[in-house]
Structure 1
């Protein structure tokens, strides 16, 4: 049985619900075959989110970590790269709003995901029929903060752990989706997509060469 850690976020801003956490719990309850999944909720707060994440990694000792966040995108968005900067358009849940601050002083400018991102994207499309993409940016808010912090932890911890980050859409009942401001997807569909991402990443370390780039 392979151990995996899946993280989601607490509700943020006007939302009373965060599908990233709900989906993480669904993966814990119904993991891919051969996997044991622990779901952990992270605060949507700079600094504190990485403290909780580090404690969870050390406690569960996973072979793979999949962090999940909420976005305004319309499908399963597999992130390619995390950059070493916090630059906030809005405050986090603690009211913090860092601008142009490094996540890890003296850390590398960026880390790539160590998941087979294009293979994951392709398998989500094939197995679920959901729209899936490789994303070239995780933003500069708490999602990127967690993604970079995760990859830095995995790179410096000394164990052969792999990890990455995936964004999922709002659910249809969430306020921004109701107003038509963002696309939406039922949380069980997002959880199915994430289950494919996780099973694919656990089964494969190497990626495939398919077109998933971007012009901007």
Structure 2
């Protein structure tokens, strides 16, 4: 049976909730026949990598999809690339606030997602929800866990597919924030995540046949503010 490990972060930056793991918790235990393993990870550079590595070792998944909050984005954004840089404008949950620090001294400058990014976006859109490619996961812990995931796949777990999805605030988080700050209900986020996972599982079953591009002219890219 195909196994997909899906992670979401705990709250950070003064927020009381994190829509990443709250939406992950709403996912079913199986999606198109694949076993879904859900894992909360700390919003901390070092500990998130350690928790993730332990989970991959334990579960031996076929794919890992990490989920994080991107306050200010109005759609689900599937990340294309993670960079070997830790630089934080706020401390992580362990008080670490790196500046201009590599995540892995022996890692590549960047790694590309190995999940079918564009097929996942098509899957989300086919369910009537907004989704875009993002070409920057920032330099905070979201980028860090994506980079560490792809580093671990490259060095320890060949054959595993890996990727990352950013999700918007949930409505309760925008109370008191500037007018116009976007949000999305948790159930809607979860619906989008389920569609993305479905596309990833089908791609595994098809041996990678489902990872083709979005139609020419489709505004799939240009998402991704630094955070």
TM-score, length of structure 2 as denominator length: 0.89
Q: Residue 113 of structure 1: CA displacement?
A: 0.3
Distance 1:172 1:215, change over 3 A: closer
Q: Residue 208 of structure 1: CA displacement?
A: 1.4
Distance in 1 between residues matched to 2:151 and 2:180, nearest whole Å? 34
Partner of 1:133, secondary structure, is strand
Contact 1:80 1:135 in 2 (8 A): yes
Contact 1:177 1:183 in 2 (8 A): no
Distance 1:191 1:31, change over 3 A: farther
TM-score, length of structure 1 as denominator length: 0.93
Unaligned stretches of 5+ residues in structure 1: none
Q: What is the aligned counterpart of 2:212 among 203, 208, 214?
A: 208
Partner of 2:199, secondary structure, is helix
Distance 1:135 1:177, change over 3 A: farther
Distance in 2 between residues matched to 1:78 and 1:8, nearest whole Å? 14
Unaligned stretches of 5+ residues in structure 2: none
Distance in 2 between residues matched to 1:47 and 1:163, nearest whole Å? 19
Instruction: Write the deviation string for residues 130-167 of structure 1: whole angstroms up to 9, x where unpaired.
Output: 11000010000000000000000011114311010000
Higher mean alpha-carbon deviation, 178-187 vs 44-53, is at 178-187
The number of aligned residues is 214
Hey, which bits of structure 1, 4+ residues long, moved more than 6 A? none
Aligned partner of 1:184 in structure 2 is 183
Distance 1:96 1:215, change over 3 A: closer
Distance in 2 between residues matched to 1:198 and 1:148, nearest whole Å? 19
Distance in 1 between residues matched to 2:34 and 2:58, nearest whole Å? 17
Aligned partner of 2:15 in structure 1 is 15
Alignment of 1:115-194 (within 5 A): 115-126=115-126, 128-175=127-174, 179-180=178-179, 182-194=181-193
Instruction: Write the deviation string for residues 57-87 of structure 1: whole angstroms up to 9, x where unpaired.
Output: 1111100000000012111100000000001
RMSD (Å) for aligned C-alpha atoms: 1.7
Alignment of 1:41-80 (within 5 A): 41-72=40-71, 73-80=73-80
Contact 1:176 1:182 in 2 (8 A): no
